[in-house]
Structure 1
């Protein structure tokens, strides 16, 4: 390209947060007398922001409870953000090495901005991210390219010189819409087929493969 910046999704890409997301939502659902879901089901509920997460988790006939379930979810998740969530193996080293190569790093998530920042600060404190953003009022969520293009502008890097690394169709669609190099990771919440179908230009199955892809992009 050559690569000058790499933007990373958070959940399912940098951190394995599924258990804590599922626990928080199931706690909120049970609190409202609604059926809960197995952890694996949340692989297909996450990725589009918490409002969509709540909508998918609640039975359609109980839509009137969405606001209350959302509030309960946020309150519980805030207290249990770090119960089980961990960085995927090998990624701190990958981030350190590509930063040493002169590539600027950023995080762009559809998770609430405050939770995104807390997780990055708590689990990846030594990584020199130049920008960290979650969902913010007034900024369209991924896959709308607005936020990704804003990060590229903030970093002073043309979109064509940016990689966007993620684990879902939302991320690959974001990369494509923003004119960035979409890199899918298969250790996250969705399948390699989904990533390919939605435009991944490269797929990484291990952290070492991710490093190689970014260095050769």
Structure 2
């Protein structure tokens, strides 16, 4: 059987390229406490993030919280996070080596995230300043957020690489659903925030337990 040789890789950001959870949790918990609500343990944020900041905040608030109060918490926490990006954020072990390998192999690399576009770009530029990405696409740009495949298909169109020639790497069901909807090869990043059960059930083609595992999937 002829092997597939992939020419492009799309990464999710939070929980895939970068471990951002502590900075996110700190910004939200501090705002919740100031607003009279309970804070949440760090592990809870593994499941709160992934669909954008507004949904994250509504997940952390008690059901029935008045919209005016919820929106105030949303705005204050978002500003706090954007003003304090990258205090503890780091790339996952093995990510820089994987990015270097992809560059050596001349494989196109892009990022598609439901994080707001400007902080997404800032995170990447500050934490991975020496790495090149063909596209960094965050929420708020002119495309529908994941799991809609629109952003992934825009990357495919602009790079001239067919969807079936892309690996799509992410740590959540949102990412695997996006990959399948776009006709891309979904790689579940088990080093991130969600578990392999979620990744399998949401349609991952393969699972990677460390970034170096991705290399063997580039030709499979």
TM-score normalised by the chain length of structure 1: 0.96
Deviation at 1:137, TM superposition (A): 4.6
Deviation at 1:196, TM superposition (A): 0.6
Instruction: Give 1:125's match in structure 2, choosing from 105, 129, 133.
Output: 129
Distance 2:112 2:212 in 1: 22
Q: Contact 1:55–1:63 at 8 Å: present in 2 too?
A: no
Distance 2:39 2:142 in 1: 31
Correspondence 1:157 to 2:157: no
Correspondence 1:168 to 2:175: no
The one-character-per-residue Cα deviations of 1:59-91 (angstroms, maximum 9, x if unpaired) are 112142221111111111012211111000111
Q: Contact 2:115–2:138 at 8 Å: present in 1 too?
A: yes
Superposed counterparts of 1:77-92, under 5 Å: 77-92=81-96
Structure 1 residue runs of 5 or longer lacking an equivalent are: none
Distance 1:51 1:148 in 2: 22
Correspondence 1:23 to 2:26: yes
Kindly tell me the number of residue pairs found equivalent between the two proteins: 216
Distance 1:140 1:191 in 2: 26
Deviation at 1:171, TM superposition (A): 0.3
Aligned to 1:213: 217
Correspondence 1:50 to 2:62: no
Residue 82 of structure 2 aligns to a residue whose secondary structure is helix
Aligned to 2:198: 194
Aligned to 1:7: 10
Aligned to 1:100: 104
Instruction: Give 1:143's match in structure 2, choosing from 147, 158, 173.
Output: 147
- CA-atom RMSD, angstroms? 1.1
Residue 164 of structure 1 aligns to a residue whose secondary structure is strand
Structure 2 residue runs of 5 or longer lacking an equivalent are: none
Deviates more, 1:70-79 or 1:13-22: 70-79
Deviation at 1:2, TM superposition (A): 2.2
Q: Contact 1:135–1:141 at 8 Å: present in 2 too?
A: yes
Distance 1:95 1:108 in 2: 15
Q: Contact 2:173–2:202 at 8 Å: present in 1 too?
A: yes
Correspondence 1:183 to 2:187: yes
TM-score normalised by the chain length of structure 2: 0.95
Deviation at 1:107, TM superposition (A): 0.5
Q: Contact 2:117–2:141 at 8 Å: present in 1 too?
A: no
Distance 1:99 1:175 in 2: 22
